[in-house]
Amino acid sequence: MLFHTWTFFIFFIATIAGFWVLRPTRFWLHWILLASAVFYGWWHPYYLLLVFYSTALDYFIVGWMERGPHLAKPGWRFAASVALLVVVIVVGLTAPAGWGGLAAAIGFFAAVLAVGHWLRSRRNWLLVSIINNLSVLVFFKYAGFVIENLNTLLARLGAGQLPSAESLMPPGWEYVLPVGISFYTFQSMSYTIDFYRGIISREPSFVRFAAFVTFFPQLVAGPIERAKNLLPQFSKIPHVKLVDVTDGVSLFLVGLFKKVALANYLGLYVDRIYGDVGLQSGAALALATFAFGWQIYFDFSGYTDMARGVARCMGFRLMLNFRNPYLAVSLADFWSRWHISLSTWFRDYVYIPLGGNRVDGLNLQRNLLITFVISGLWHGAAWTFLIWGALHGLGLIANRGLEQASWWRDRFPPLAKRLVVFVFVCFAWVFFRAESL
């Protein structure tokens, strides 16, 4: 269910109507949670289980982390309610094929509960959360890529082949990439990490936490919200003013225009040129490369604007995710403007823990390169994305050297700097778009 389809328009009208009817009651948040489940399940109902499984596990883990060394069992009534919710969703939407996946998920959840007595350390519980979230993400997004490359290597060595990722799925399940898994996984992980660091307090309501993780406007394409910004907005009935509705509709229409009128039409030109590279001139390829830079910007920022507009119509405020990135005067400036929620996520949870700017020389360069290689792989499971990330990591290393050179820092005009950054970013986009090496 994409924002620029009639299906979503009908869904959103129904969601808004139910939201306004239930606003005076305590069930308005339950309605948003239900709408988010319908929105996500529209693509592939099986994978609703993954979302609510990870959500429930992270909710319980933070509760156990809060109790510290004196671990207490969660209330059986609440645990039974969560289990019933999962069973109803899975059985209602995926039966009979979903029973294998349901058994696997419940089995893993029971295993975590069983070893809980030994996991009295807050750090150990944090590791369980991180390993769980990354394991699910890695399997569904990268298992096929890893197995394919390992099998290529094993074939050259004359060894046996590993089983395909599809063969590892429960009976009746397809091996497809769950929509938005990279976004909601990072959003849920940020909650547990921020709680561990003492940045936020535990959210006592499972409904509020589940609404935070699965909030449908930003569930599949961001922005990746932090708990300290979005969770408090679910603590009280949003006070929707007329300006919220008008601003929300305006944001949505601007995003729709970017996506449909600009990105899609630029995409037609780019696809035609790149579809037969051998017959194109150098000028045509260069123009298509720059056109793709604008296409991907209008596509990403347009979808984010639509997400922010939908949320704003209901009184919720999502963060600004793009801030004129092609006006950046340096590559570091570019990453402070492009996909801000993702770049700050990697800064706070990967780059800084590796040492960030507290180290210098080769260690700092290593941190930049590792962070951006991981960022590249976050976008997709292919060598092309890894190269794209590595190029930006190397570019930022070079950027730090340029900023120390007086001829660049003081004498190079801002317009020329913007041009250099734009050309470099567009060059890197070539690898981002490429289907293979």
Query: Which is the catalytic residue, given 4, 30, 44, 379?
Result: 379
With vertex at residue 394, the alpha carbon angle to CA 381 and CA 425, rounded to the nearest 5 degrees, is 75
What is the pTM assigned to this prediction?
0.84
What integer pLDDT is reported at residue 240 of this predicted model?
A: 86
Task: Indicate whether 89 pLDDT > 60.
Answer: no
The answer to whether residue 44 is catalytic is no
What integer pLDDT is reported at residue 69 of this predicted model?
A: 55
Ranges of H-type helices in 257-281: 264-274
Q: Which of 12-21, 83-92, 102-111, 365-374 has the lowest mean pLDDT?
A: 83-92
Measure the CA–CA gap between 157 and 151, rounded to whole angstroms: 10
Helix crossing, 28-41 with 48-67: angle to 10°? 130
Contact 368, 208 (CB under 8 A): no
For 356-398, how does the pLDDT look when each residue is reduced to its tens digit (9 = 90+)? 888 888 888 999 999 999 999 999 889 999 999 999 999 999 9
Domain boundaries, the chain: 6-234, 242-313, 325-433
For 231-262, how does the pLDDT look when each residue is reduced to its tens digit (9 = 90+)? 999 988 888 889 999 999 999 999 999 999 99
User: Which amino acid, residue 410?
Assistant: D
Is the pLDDT higher at 407 or at 195? 195
Proportion of the chain in helix, strand, coil states, percent, rounded to 5? 75, 0, 25
Is the pLDDT higher at 215 or at 2? 215
Task: Indicate whether 112 pLDDT > 70.
Answer: no
Per-residue confidence at 321, pLDDT binned at 50, 70, 90? very high
Q: How many CB atoms sit inside 10 A of residue 135's CB?
A: 11
Contact 40, 220 (CB under 8 A): yes
Supply φ then ψ for residue 84, to 5 degrees. Answer: -65, -40
Task: Indicate whether 19 pLDDT > 50.
Answer: yes
Task: Indicate whether 121 pLDDT > 90.
Answer: no
What integer pLDDT is reported at residue 239 of this predicted model?
A: 85
